Structure 1
Amino acid sequence: MLHAEGPLLTVDIGDRSTETTDIDEINETFIGGRGVATRLAHDRLPFDADPLGAANRLYFATGPMQSSTMSFTGRMNCTGVSPLTGGLLSSNAGGFMSRNFAATGYSAVELVGASDDLVIIHVTDTGVEFEPVPDLAGATVPETLEYIETEHGMESDHVACIGPGGENQVRFASILTSESRAFGRGGLGAVLGSKGVKAITFDGDSSPEIEIPPIQMDVHRDAATSDHIMKRQGTTSVTELANEVSALPTRYFSELEFEGVEGINGDRVEEKKFKKATCSSCAFACKLPTRDEDRGVETEGPEFETVMSFGSNAGVDDIVDVMQSNELCDRYGLDSITCGNVVSAYLASEGEFGNTELIFETVEKIAHREGIGDLLAEGIDRFHRELGVENWTVKGLDFAAHDGRTLNGQGLSYATATRGADHMFTTMYAWEYPLVDGEEAYDPTGLEGKPEMVIEQENARALEDCGIICRFSRSFMTPERLEGLFSTDYETLLDVGSTVVDLERHFNNQRGVDREDDTLPYSLPDFEAALDEYYERRGWTDEGTVPSGRVDAVASAD
């Protein structure tokens, strides 16, 4: 089976020391990316680690496909204990850094400990350098990238960094790479900030020579020649559809349709798009550099989730306002989905939906933990009672778009996902809108037959994150092509994904997560019965815990 190659580099930030460990067996078993990082975290990270304490560890990892030139592979993985959910969480970012990471010769990099002084860590194939950067305290993401390019000649595709949000340990701070691509959900930027790390750079000339089957060229050709609407509108192409089927969260989840959708839909984004953009080696080119000359706003995006969080959910019907909110999140290093939902919760408490000046002001306050921003920086799960708003979270993570009250299978997947209410854990919504061919579609209403499908898609998404392959490859990466790429049968690949989910859940079980956490703030038909079926098919207990024997079997298989 095709897999990542290279050792683990452990960087002790406090001691300013490094260690290299052979992890060939883990790479062979877990392929790379999220799988390898999850196994390492499960084995090496204390179950009771404080997410913002020195005992937490952060793992950057790539997969075998980052040694290819195939489309949909310009991504990499980051894993740690989330300060927002309190559980083990993996986040995935696109852009151009993954190839530079692979060029260091390591398959994974582990950050341990913490620094008393703000530093940049430079990782190369010849060693690691720790650079004190006290003058970068409080610097925005663009300011940090400008410093690194000026002082070291490295462009943004070599850099993963945080802004003020991460330094101030905002629980939903992101890690930015390639200027605007984010390890977004779950607050891993705050983990980097808690370790006193402003940025980490990757450079080298030691990429592993992994032989990728020639089927990669078929995928690349199809991506280049496809006339997909996402090439023009990115994920915002689904905005109108979500609104039409009553699945677009509006005014802090109080409604499911937005009367101002025409002002923030895919057409409006396409009008503001001023050039093509992509991730490393990808011919699909679905990214969205946008600009408004009159307002002087330029950003990348917004994607659909941000259109929801800072648009319909905030009662905003002007795409330029959403663009400005998106740009502020990138500048300060904040997850735009959570930040938009947090701001929308605050607008709900103040009766100020649509107040864009208040929105921009609040984003800045959150990033710097000033005034009300200090409370909002804790996330909805921690402040909802104080503001008197509903707690629209699962396991501490606020909801994405694709509303589960309409798309019921997506609702079930929000409840079961180890990350919480994250749409990318299964992408079940694609089968319920549907965005797939009719014969593959599911009736969005009800949960009959869906637990099995949720499990299959959770496993498939975990597999992609091990590879690492972009979610938007869905129309191109058939099971047959995956078998050809990874040189094994599809069921074996899904088993890898299933094991990753088991390890994540087992880790979180040790931190107290069980059935009581697999809940929703709304009712779905036969939800408890569907949850029972889900656990049974997973081989978990009725209380949603992973039997220790399953984890022991994983260890003995390596």
Structure 2
Amino acid sequence: MLHTQGPLRSIDVGARDTTTESIDDILVDFIGGRGVATALAHDRIPFDADPLGAENKLYFTTGPMQASRMSFTGRMNCTGISPLTDGLFSSNAGGFLSRNFVGAGNAAVEITGKADELLAVHVREDGVTFEPVPELAGAEVPETVEYAAAEHDLDPEHTACIGPAGENEVRFASIMTTESRAFGRGGLGAVLGAKNIKLLTFDGEAEPPVEIPPMQMEVHQEAATDDHIMKRQGTTSVTDLANESDALPAYYFADQSFEGAEGINGDRVEEKKYKKGTCSQCAFACKLPTRDEATGVETEGPEFETVMSFGSNCGVDDIVDVMRANELCDRLGLDVISAGDVVAGYLASEDRFGDAALVRETVEQIAHREGVGDTLAEGIDRAHEELGVENWTVKGMEFPAHDGRALNGQGLSFATANRGADHMYATFYAYEYPLVPREHAFDPDGLSDEKAAKLVELENTRALEDCGVVCRFSRDFMTPERFEGLFGADYDDLLAVGGRVVELERHFNNQRGFDRSDDRLPYDVDGFEAALDAYYDVRGWSEEGVVSDVGGPASTAAD
């Protein structure tokens, strides 16, 4: 089976020490990416570690496909305990860092301990250096990236850093890479901030001995020539469909569609797009560099989830206002979904929907923990009672779009995901709009044993992609046959690796107290409890959602 090659480099930022060790057995069993990081985290992070304490660790990993020239492979993984959900959490970022990470010669990099002053950590093929950077305290992401260029001749493609939000331990702070791409959602930027790490850089010319079959070029050619709407509108191409399907949350989830959707849909984003945008080696080019000439705002995005969180959910119907919020989050290092939802909750409490100026003011306050921002920086799960609004989270994580009240399978997916309310954990929504051929689609209404079984398959598939590492948007190109051809293994065995990753995440979270009571939604869906039982049954977990056994190699795990 194709897998990543190289050692684990462990970096103790408190001791300013680094070691390397072989992890070949883990690489063979878990391929790379999220799988390797999850296995390492499960074995090396204490189950009772404080997410913002020195014992929590971060694992940066890539997969074997980062040795290819194939489209959909410009991504990498970061794993640790989330300050937002309190569970084990993996985040996946695109951009251009992954190849430079590989060039530094490691299969995985572990960040542990806590520095006694603000540091930049430089990972090179020949070792690691620690640089005090007190002058970067409070710096926004562009300023930090400029520092790496000026002082170390490294462009944004070599960097992973935090903004003020990470330094201030905002629970949904992101780690930013390539300046505008994010390891988002779970607050891993706050973990880096708690360790007093402002900037990580990776550089080198190592070439791991990973041979990718020629099939890679078939996928690459199809990605280059396919006339897909995402090449023009990115994920915002689904905005109108979601709105028509009652799956676009609005006014802090009070509504499921938005009368102002036309002002923030894919057409409006396409009008502001001024050039192509992509990730490393990818010819699909679905990114969205946008610019508004009248205001001068320039950003990358917004993607569909941001159109929801800072658009419809805040009652804002002007795409330029959404762009400005998007750009602000990137500069400050904030997850755009959680930040937008938290702001929407605040607007609901103040009856100020549609106030775009207040939106931006509140985002600034959150990043710096000033005024009401100090409360909002904790996330809706911890702040909703003080705000007097409903707790729209799962496992402490704020909701994306693809509303589960309309797309019931996606609702079940939000509940079961080890990461919390995350649309990318299984992408069940694609089968309910549908965005797949009709013969593979599900009726969005209701739940069933068939949906529960499909959810298990999709979670395992997404985990496999994150081991590879292969982008979610390769869905129409990476068939089971191509996975088999590229990874040199039977597809069922590959899915079993994904299943093993999901089980390790669940087992770790079980040890932290998670069980069935956490697999809950803030709304009712007919048949939910029976579908949850069916899901646990397919997984082989207890009726309380607890994993009893995580022993044995990945290839024998249930799929």
For 1:439 and 1:556, how far apart are their aligned partners in 2? 30
Q: State the partner residue of 2:238.
A: 238
State the match for 1:201 in structure 2. Answer: 201
1:39-58 alignment runs, 5 A limit: 39-58=39-58
Q: Indicate the SS of the match to 2:227.
A: coil
Give how far 1:551 is off.
Answer: 1.0
Between the aligned partners of 1:207 and 1:374, the Cα distance in structure 2 is: 45
Partner of 2:490: 489
In the aligned structure 2, how far is the partner of 1:437 from the partner of 1:152?
49
Per-residue deviation, 1:370: 0.2
Preserved CA contact (<8 Å) 2:497 2:554? no
Aligned mates of 1:524, 1:367 — CA distance in 2: 35
**Aligned pairs (5 A) from 1:94-493:** 94-448=94-448, 449-493=450-494
In structure 2, the CA distance between the partners of 1:556 and 1:76, relative to structure 1 (3 Å rule), is closer
One-letter code aligned to 1:525: D
Residue deviations 1:40-81 (CA, integer Å, cap 9, x gap): 000000000000000100000000000000000000000000
Q: Match of 2:550?
A: 551
**Runs of 4+, deviation exceeding 6 Å:** 555-558
Across the aligned residues of Structure 1 and Structure 2, the Cα RMSD in angstroms comes to 1.0
Secondary structure of the residue aligned to 2:209 is coil
SS in 1 for 2:552: helix
- Aligned-partner Cα distance in 2 for 1:476–1:534: 28
1:205–1:342: structure 2 CA closer, same or farther, 3 Å change rule?
Answer: same
Taking the aligned partners of 1:207 and 1:280, their CA distance within structure 2 comes to 16
- Kept after mapping to 1: 8 A contact 2:249/2:403: yes
Cα deviation for residue 127 of structure 1 reads 0.6
Alpha-carbon distance in structure 2 between the residues aligned to 1:73 and 1:519: 33
CA distance in 2, matches of 1:487, 1:556: 13
Do the aligned residues in 1 keep the contact of 2:8 with 2:21 (CA within 8 Å)? yes
Identify the residue that residue 516 of structure 2 maps to in structure 1.
515
For residue 105 of structure 1, report the CA deviation from its aligned partner: 1.0
How far, CA to CA, are the matches of 2:472 and 2:441 in structure 1?
Answer: 18
Query: CA contact under 8 A between 2:29 and 2:554: conserved in structure 1?
Result: no
In structure 2, distance between residues paired with 1:334 and 1:491: 38
Correspondence for 1:4 = 4
Distance in 2 (CA, whole Å) between partners of 1:64 and 1:556 is: 18
CA distance, structure 1, for counterparts of residue 479 and residue 447 of structure 2: 25
Q: Is the 8 A contact 2:496 2:555 kept in 1?
A: no
1:310-344 Cα shifts (integer Å, max 9, x gaps): 00000000000000000000000000010000000
- CA distance in 2 between partners of 1:280 and 1:290 (Å): 19
| Corresponding residue SS for 2:267 | helix
TM-superposition CA deviations, 1:80-116 (whole Å, max 9, x none): 0000000000000000000000011100000010001
Q: Is the 8 A contact 2:231 2:285 kept in 1?
A: yes
For 2:314 and 2:475, how far apart are their aligned partners in 1?
Answer: 30
Cα offset, 1:207, TM superposition? 2.3
Partners of 1:49 and 1:334 in 2: CA distance: 24
Instruction: Supply the distance in 2 between the matched residues of 1:489 and 1:226 (Cα, whole angstroms).
Output: 28
Checking the alignment, whether the CA contact within 8 Å between 2:496 and 2:554 is kept in structure 1 is no
* DSSP 3-state at the match of 1:160: strand
Q: Tell me, what secondary structure is at the counterpart of 1:551? A: coil
The letter for the 2-side match of 1:368 is: H
Q: What is the count of residue pairs matched by the alignment?
A: 556
The 2-side partners of 1:252 and 1:116 are apart by 40
Q: Counterparts of 1:41 and 1:78 in 2: how far apart (Å)?
A: 11
CA distance in 2, matches of 1:417, 1:391: 18
In structure 1, runs of 5+ residues without a counterpart are none
Mapping of 1:79-90 within 5 angstroms? Answer: 79-90=79-90
Q: Could you tell me which runs of 5 or more consecutive residues in structure 2 were left unpaired when the two chains were aligned.
A: none
User: What secondary structure sits across from 1:391 in the alignment?
Assistant: coil
The one-letter amino acid of 1:169's match is E
CA-CA distance at 1:554 after TM superposition: 4.0
**1:504 and 1:240 mapped to 2: Cα distance?**
35
Residue 553 of structure 1 deviates from its aligned partner by 2.2
The letter of the residue matching 2:163 is G
- Percent identical residues: 70
Give the secondary structure class of the aligned counterpart of 2:551.
helix
1:23 paired residue number: 23
Give a deviation string over 1:477-516, Cα, whole Å, max 9, x none: 0111111010111100100000000000000000000000
Partners in 2 of 1:8 and 1:244 — Cα distance? 48
Displacement after TM superposition at 1:406 (Å): 0.3
TM-superposed deviation, 1:556: 11
CA separation in 1, counterparts of 2:181 and 2:359? 22
Equivalent position SS for 2:383: helix
> Displacement, 1:557?
8.1
Give CA-to-partner distance per residue, 1:267-296, whole Å, 9 cap, x none.
Answer: 000000000010000000000000001111
What CA distance in whole angstroms lies between the structure 1 residues aligned with 2:544 and 2:268? 46
| 2:418 alignment partner AA | T
